[in-house]
A and B are shown apart, each in its own frame.
Chain A
Amino acid sequence: MNRSKHSFFHLLTVSSFVLLSHSVFAAKVTLEPSSWGLEEGKACVDCHAKSSAGLTHQWKNSAHAQANVNCLDCHQAYEDDADAIEHEGSVIATIVSPKDCGRCHTAELKQQQGSVHTKAVSIINNRMPALAEHFGSLSINDAGCAKCHGSKVIVRGDGTLDPSTWPNSGIGRINPDGSKGSCSACHGRHQFSKAQAREPAACTYCHSGPDSPDKSIYETSKHGMMYEAHKADMNMDSDSWVAGKDYSAAPTCVSCHMGAAGKMKSTHDVGMRDSWNLNEAVSTQQYLVIFADGEKRELSSSDPIPRKGESISKMDGTMGKVKAVASPKRRRAAMTKTCLECHSKNFANNAMKQFDEVVKLYNEKYGKPSRDIMQALYAENILTPLPFDEPVEISYWNLWHKGGTRARHGAAMGSPSDTWKGMADVGSLFYGKFLPQVRKVAGAEKGDALIKQYINESEHHQWLNHPAKANPILGYGKGSSNED
């Protein structure tokens, strides 16, 4: 009874999700061309072709220029806008926010404003001060963290933009007009080239390095290998860019995470097709809750899942009415649609299964036990509440946030070397540093008890209980008469 009710509910949410995705993803600008090409903005380029020739040159080569979209169309502002300035007799704003772009690109704005990218500041709001301030200072936040995650742009009382918060084109930037994100994070200004944004580099500008190693993962995947070899056949400039129809040489990040394939429309909601949360100490499968106002939030599969019409809290803490819920299964199905343009269903499903198994392995063998041990250490005041002042905290952080992320992302995107490197890093840290540090900080008795509870009794660490089991990998038995 309960089960059938649940499946019916599931069907409902899935169908609304499908409906929603089809109605939202139309991307043509529907405004009348007379809505842009402001008279007052036509002369800007006369001066800017001289004062900032490079920028103007980029614009001249843009689709905007071809459509007669001029500087003021994007930079126009009202006098009472927080960041309005006077410039050559016009009222303008330096920052062109998603809300500004969305005056014409309405569909993209709607998709983007609910996406996980726009939450890039709020997601790490609690974590960032500890990382940035303990390992650096405010300046590393401004020039590092916030460059990808986004700054909260501050307009000072004299109308100037606070230099610690601007320039910034972080994906989750909080703009003076209240909108979130920055289109120029991916679409480099002032050309806003489609082709450029479809390049893996548009994503790997941020998704690279130790905590988001997707650049190296993609490059060492079969997809990346094919892309590198067949770049010229990618048809990147094409207006329509449907996988299998307009190109087939290789998928880029955009193809799977945002791109159109078959009947599936493209979307600017980048995280929509992600069924796992791979950027936590322990991965969970995640539901996507879509609110009536277009806002979205993720819920872990272990959280209570709301029904349509229910009110639950949104990411910003306010309450919102649930319009639809997409299950992890449905999100996985969307992601898999792109695969099917080149792969068989079995091929795609099995590849996903291999990925899922790595995530589960990581969770059970390393993620959960290390998390539980840390929680026990905090609960018993063995560790101070302050993060990173004890070596075991640094090991734990690196374990899940660096190695753990690499292993899970590696498996998601088919890089054998990064999957293994990540997991090997996790294992080395776990056995070589984390456990000895636990024993040291908790004392031998308490440390051994914790390790017994979470490690020795776990099926994943049974190999530790067989010290006599020989293997020549480290040279044991070399030179003895038993050697093969």
Chain B
Amino acid sequence: MKINDLLPAFITRHVLFALIFGGICGIGFILFLIEFDHYTSTEEFCTSCHSMELAAEPYRNSTHYKPKSGVRASCGDCHVSEGVLSATWDHVMGSKDLYNQIFGPDYDDPVVNALHLPEAAFSARKWFKKRNSATCKRCHVKQAIYGDRPDTLQIHLEDAKDKNCIECHYNLVHRIIPDEKVFKQDKWNAMIEEEFGLEKGSAQKILQH
């Protein structure tokens, strides 16, 4: 018996080869995406841009970097969605950061970086909120937040029932930045000027560049 007898007539040998080849390529591509997403979510990859090294500094002092439990969340664990398609989409959208890194302001400069940090924080918070804090929930389960206070679990189950993580928990990992509603650019600029010993008013000029 020939293999042709088992298949419908329209599947010719060439079609079969094409299918097998295409399938292998497809699997390869998916595997590639998985590996790509995996690699591009690591701290090592993210901090290969110097500007990200600046964002990583406070992260390395946070409880997400050195938790008592030893479960470390890397950049992508929080900032890249679960699932190969969503993760790939996030990376495609994230490539605009790469574009800005190359063609935008000099984020590698600590002053420029600090002055633009609030914009980044606001957009990251929106990202979390839009996704219902999905990446937080990879590790954190509302029903299992026992905490140090006797009522921590109760608060999460009752009072925070309809809320997602980012609505209450921000400023956990990176530099403290106020909520967008109460953010005051002039005060932020003044703080950065003082921190880096810059002339008063210079921050605004740097931002306009």
Comparing B30-38, B85-93, B150-158, the segment that makes contact with chain A is: B150-158
Q: Does A270 contact B (CB under 8 A)?
A: no
Q: Does B190 contact A (CB under 8 A)?
A: yes
Contacts A91-B181, A91-B182: A157 and B155 contacting too (C-beta < 8 A)? no
A157 in complex: contacting residue of B152, B179, B181, B191, CB < 8 Å:
B191
Mostly helix, strand, loop or mixed at chain A's interface?
loop
State the total of A-B contacts with C-beta under 8 angstroms: 61
B182 in complex: contacting residue of A47, A86, A157, CB < 8 Å:
A86
Complex interface: chain B residues within 8 A of A85 (CB) = 178-179, 182
Q: Does B120 contact A (CB under 8 A)?
A: no
Q: By the criterion CB–CB under 8 Å, are A51 and B149 in contact?
A: yes
Q: Does A445 contact B (CB under 8 A)?
A: no
- The minimal Cβ–Cβ distance linking B149 to chain A, given in whole angstroms, is 7
Contact with B along A79-98 (1 / 0, CB 8 A): 11110111011010000000
B159 in complex: contacting residue of A50, A81, A82, CB < 8 Å:
A50
Give chain A interface residues in 61-101, CB to chain B under 8 Å.
Answer: 79-82, 84-86, 88-89, 91
Contact with A along B167-179 (1 / 0, CB 8 A): 1100000011111
Q: Does A262 contact B (CB under 8 A)?
A: no
Give chain B interface residues in 169-209, CB to chain A under 8 Å.
Answer: 175-179, 181-184, 187-192, 194
Q: Does A313 contact B (CB under 8 A)?
A: no
Q: Does A238 contact B (CB under 8 A)?
A: no
Contact with B along A136-176 (1 / 0, CB 8 A): 00000000000000000001111110000000000000000
Contacts A85-B182, A86-B181: A159 and B158 contacting too (C-beta < 8 A)? no
Contacts A46-B159, A50-B155, A51-B155: A159 and B175 contacting too (C-beta < 8 A)? no
Q: By the criterion CB–CB under 8 Å, are A155 and B187 in contact?
A: yes
Q: By the criterion CB–CB under 8 Å, are A47 and B179 in contact?
A: no
Complex interface: chain B residues within 8 A of A80 (CB) = 184
Complex interface: chain B residues within 8 A of A79 (CB) = 181-182
Complex interface: chain A residues within 8 A of B152 (CB) = 50-51
Mostly helix, strand, loop or mixed at chain B's interface?
helix
B interface, size bucket: 20 to 34
When C-beta atoms are compared, the residue in chain A nearest to B182 turns out to be A84
- The minimal Cβ–Cβ distance linking A161 to chain B, given in whole angstroms, is 12
A interface, size bucket: 20 to 34
When C-beta atoms are compared, the residue in chain A nearest to B170 turns out to be A86
Q: By the criterion CB–CB under 8 Å, are A46 and B158 in contact?
A: yes
Q: By the criterion CB–CB under 8 Å, are B167 and A158 in contact?
A: no
Docked complex Cα distance between A80 and B168 (Å): 21
When C-beta atoms are compared, the residue in chain B nearest to A86 turns out to be B179
Which of A79, A89, A156, A159 has the most B CB atoms < 10 Å from its CB?
A159
- The minimal Cβ–Cβ distance linking B148 to chain A, given in whole angstroms, is 11
Complex interface: chain A residues within 8 A of B155 (CB) = 47, 50-51
Docked complex Cα distance between A47 and B152 (Å): 10
Q: By the criterion CB–CB under 8 Å, are A159 and B178 in contact?
A: yes
B176 in complex: contacting residue of A43, A82, A158, CB < 8 Å:
A158
A156 in complex: contacting residue of B167, B168, B191, CB < 8 Å:
B191
Give chain A interface residues in 210-241, CB to chain B under 8 Å.
Answer: none
- The minimal Cβ–Cβ distance linking B25 to chain A, given in whole angstroms, is 50
Complex interface: chain A residues within 8 A of B184 (CB) = 80, 82, 157, 159
Complex interface: chain A residues within 8 A of B177 (CB) = 158-159
Complex interface: chain A residues within 8 A of B181 (CB) = 79, 86, 91
Docked complex Cα distance between A91 and B180 (Å): 11
Q: By the criterion CB–CB under 8 Å, are A88 and B168 in contact?
A: yes
- The minimal Cβ–Cβ distance linking B113 to chain A, given in whole angstroms, is 15
Complex interface: chain B residues within 8 A of A53 (CB) = 151
**25 intermolecular pairs with C-beta atoms under 8 Å apart:** A47-B155, A47-B160, A50-B151, A50-B154, A51-B149, A51-B151, A79-B182, A84-B182, A86-B179, A86-B181, A88-B168, A156-B187, A156-B191, A157-B184, A157-B188, A157-B192, A157-B194, A158-B177, A158-B178, A158-B188, A158-B191, A159-B176, A159-B178, A159-B182, A160-B176
A contacts, CB < 8 Å to B: 43, 46-47, 50-51, 53, 79-82, 84-86, 88-89, 91, 155-160
